[in-house]
Amino acid sequence: MELVRATEAAAIRAVPFIGRGDKNAADGAAVDAMRKFLGTVGFDGLVVIGEGEKDDAPMLFNGEHVGTGHGPACDIAVDPIDGTSLTAAGRQNALSMIAVADRGSMYDPSAVFYMDKIVTGPEGHGVVDLRQPIGENIRALAKAMKKDIADIVVAVLDRPRHAELIDEIRAAGAGTRLLLDGDVAGGINAARYDARIDMCVGRGGTPEGIITACALKGLGGFIQAKLAPRDDDERQKAIDAGHDLDRILEIDDLVTSDNTYFVATGVTDGQLVGGVRKKGPIIRTESIVLRGRSGTIRRVVADHLAEKWL
């Protein structure tokens, strides 16, 4: 619940910036609120994956210590707003999120900001593989799920780099769900048994991949990833850091511990959670909490007195 308070605060503080066209202002307000509330949590948290470095947005920086300093030593991955562009435009599916795991258990991408990913529910284990053509993966997953290929829905970030991938998905007979931003929610929805999405694929942020892996620990989901350096300089940094750029990373490579927590609060409405709503004197938030060790999903709906947030 302490973690939920931090994502709730970040989401609430981002609300005045929804649809205002300034993603950095929204991110800055969310970061300040999240940092303040994380400072009250009874743990020794180390931010190993902060958000914002790649676009000079405000951030909780890598190496920052949060929490009271007492209690369990933890790795923290934060994204005060996953979907800053969505927030600025007033679109759906913006989230505030935190992932927590035992200290030293989260993968260090060494400043490689993007990775190729494939995410499914439990049915994908031993069935799909990032090295296979997307058509083969779709057919294999459809068979494992006992679904017609025409009923398979694949989520992909709507980016020019994915034009060929989208064509291949459709050529295989599956449908697409194009994401404007924020592939963490897409990955989680791919792993949920009651969601419409069956698979999430494509190139997206490395921080988002590790956060997604933490969430999938509580869902029994499947993820594979491969680092995708943007240029020769980033490639050399990865090699110097000892990364094998041909390696396929499995879920236990991305997060070695099963003692994981993933918390997200909706900023704007989405399939995963509803967005922040003002109801008279009340501000209502909706959050989801996934715990890896117990395999539990909890939904938290909270009403906050608006006067406390003035």
Residues 8 and 134 in one domain: no
Q: Which of 306, 261, 275 lies closest to 38 in space, CA to CA?
A: 261
| Tokens matching residue 198 | 């069956």
Query: How does pLDDT run along the chain (310 residues), one tens digit per residue?
Result: 889 999 999 999 999 999 999 999 999 999 999 999 999 999 999 999 885 454 454 667 788 889 999 999 999 999 899 889 999 999 999 999 999 999 999 998 877 889 999 999 999 999 999 999 999 999 999 999 999 999 999 999 999 999 999 999 999 999 999 998 878 999 999 999 989 999 999 999 888 999 999 999 999 999 999 999 999 999 999 999 889 999 999 999 999 999 999 999 999 999 899 999 999 999 999 999 999 999 999 999 999 999 998 7
Q: What is the widest separation between alpha-carbon atoms in the chain?
A: 56
Strand partners, 264: 97, 288
Annotated binding site for substrate: 82-84, 114, 159-161, 181-183, 205
Indicate the number of domains in the chain: 2
Residues 213 and 249 in one domain: yes
Q: Given the structure tokens 């000892």, which residue do they identify?
A: 242
Q: What is the DSSP letter of 106?
A: B
Percent of the chain with pLDDT over 90: 84
Measured distance CA(286)–CA(294) in Å, rounded: 21
CATH number of the domain encompassing residue 119? 3.40.190.90
Q: Given the structure tokens 């302490």, which residue do they identify?
A: 2
Residues 120 and 81 in one domain: no
Which positions ≥6 away from 226 have C-beta within 8 Å? 115, 116, 130, 245, 246, 247, 248, 249
Residues 68 and 162 in one domain: no
Measured distance CA(96)–CA(10) in Å, rounded: 6
Which pTM value belongs to this model?
0.91
Residues 244 and 131 in one domain: yes
Task: Map residue 216 onto helix, strand or coil.
Answer: helix
Domain interval for residue 20: 2-104+260-308
Q: Which of 309, 214, 306 lies closest to 256 in space, CA to CA?
A: 214
Residues 96 and 121 in one domain: no
Annotated binding site: 27, 51, 79, 82-84, 114, 159-161, 181-183, 205, 208
Residues 30 and 83 in one domain: yes
Residues 48 and 68 in one domain: yes
Annotated binding site for Mn(2+): 27, 51, 79, 82, 208
**Residues 76, 210, 197: CA angle, nearest 5 degrees:** 125
CATH number of the domain encompassing residue 301? 3.30.540.10
109 lies in a domain? no
Task: Map residue 258 onto helix, strand or coil.
Answer: coil
Residues 16 and 96 in one domain: yes
